[in-house]
Amino acid sequence: MGDDVARRQAATVVPALVRSAHPGPALAVVVLSLLVGVAAGLEGGRLLLVGLAVLAGQLSVGWSNDLIDEARDRAVGRTDKPLAAGQVSSATVRVACGSALVATLVLSLACGLVAGTVHLLCVASAWSYNTGVKSTVWSWAPYAASFGGLVVFVSLAGEPPQLPPWWAPVAAALLGVGAHLLNALPDLDEDRATGVRGLPHRIGARLLPAVATSVLVLASVVVAAGTGITRASSVAALVLVGLLGLVALVGRGRLPFLAAVGIALTDVVLLVTAG
């Protein structure tokens, strides 16, 4: 009887806990780190170790976000947030978040002292966003630092460790800023209602897709400038970015947002295949 109750509780709590970690963005960052790792020549256990370190860090960031925003999310009726909706307890999320932080520390340093320190700084940067920077004009900075630093971490985790070419962290930082601008777009009104006024809110919904597009196009240009890309596939990618940029600037409805997402995905492909 007791075992059945425990199983039913776990069947409810575990999915809610996973959703509280923001699994979509977390998975995207993990996949990006693995792709960058493959491009940097990481193999086998080393690649797995990098992926686990990034996963642990992203889980801590996601859970801390929901813990810090719990009152705000309840105030605006965010039923999509399991913690605010009462589907999982604050105590459970705190334990999960603390465990993820410990795992992040151990797994990061296992990648090497310098590489691990860089990754811990990336995670700390992401936490700074959650703890207040997101409400300032500097809301873009943690995204730039964490995405740019992630590329440096993965490269330094190699054997032997080495710094990536200059264009890789710069392009990744721009990709992070673009992702921040796009990610904020659906929640602008709810954020304003609870006092959050980061850079996207100051730009405004009307101009935000165009600004995000410009940043993402610039990321593509940085990769092209850094590598001197002449391959037909790379030229095609840049042409695609140009066309999507045009759609983002003149399109209506959700077209600008979708076009900007397409540019972001193209940037990822350029970033991990140009090295």
Return the CATH number at 89.
Answer: 1.10.357.140
pLDDT for res 2: 47
Residue 141 and residue 111 in one domain: yes
Confidence tier at 6 by pLDDT (50, 70, 90):
very low
Q: Which of 20-29, 35-44, 113-122, 258-267 has the lowest mean pLDDT?
A: 258-267
**Inter-residue long-range contacts of 93-100, CB under 8 Å, 24+ positions, other chains counted:** 93/17, 93/20, 93/63, 93/66, 93/67, 94/67, 96/17, 96/21, 96/59, 96/63, 97/59, 97/60, 97/63, 97/64, 97/67, 100/56, 100/57, 100/59, 100/60, 100/63
Question: Greater confidence, 191 or 4?
Answer: 191
- Specify the pTM: 0.88
What's the pLDDT score for residue 223?
Answer: 83
Mean pLDDT of 63-70: 92
Residue 190 has pLDDT above 60, yes or no: yes
Mean pLDDT in residue range 10-35:
87
Q: What is the pLDDT of residue 5?
A: 41
Residues 194 and 221 in one domain: yes
Among 163, 182, 213, identify where a domain stops.
Answer: 163
Distance of CA 195 to CAs 54, 64, 84, 99, 135, Å?
A: 30, 19, 18, 30, 7
pLDDT at 214 over 70: yes
Do 32 and 108 belong to one domain?
yes
Residue range of the domain that includes 170 = 165-275
Among positive and negative, which fits the CA dihedral 94, 114, 27, 238? positive
Q: Which residue has the higher pLDDT, 93 or 228?
A: 93
Q: Report the pLDDT value the prediction gives residue 273, as an integer from 0 to 100.
A: 76
3 state DSSP class of 188? helix
Q: If you average pLDDT over residues 50-79, what whole number do you get?
A: 91
pLDDT > 70? residue 209:
yes
Domain closes at, from 129, 163, 197: 163
- Is residue 4 over pLDDT 70? no
Q: Pseudo-torsion of CA 28, 172, 125, 150, nearest 10°?
A: 70
Mean pLDDT of the chain: 86
Residues 186 and 103 in one domain: no
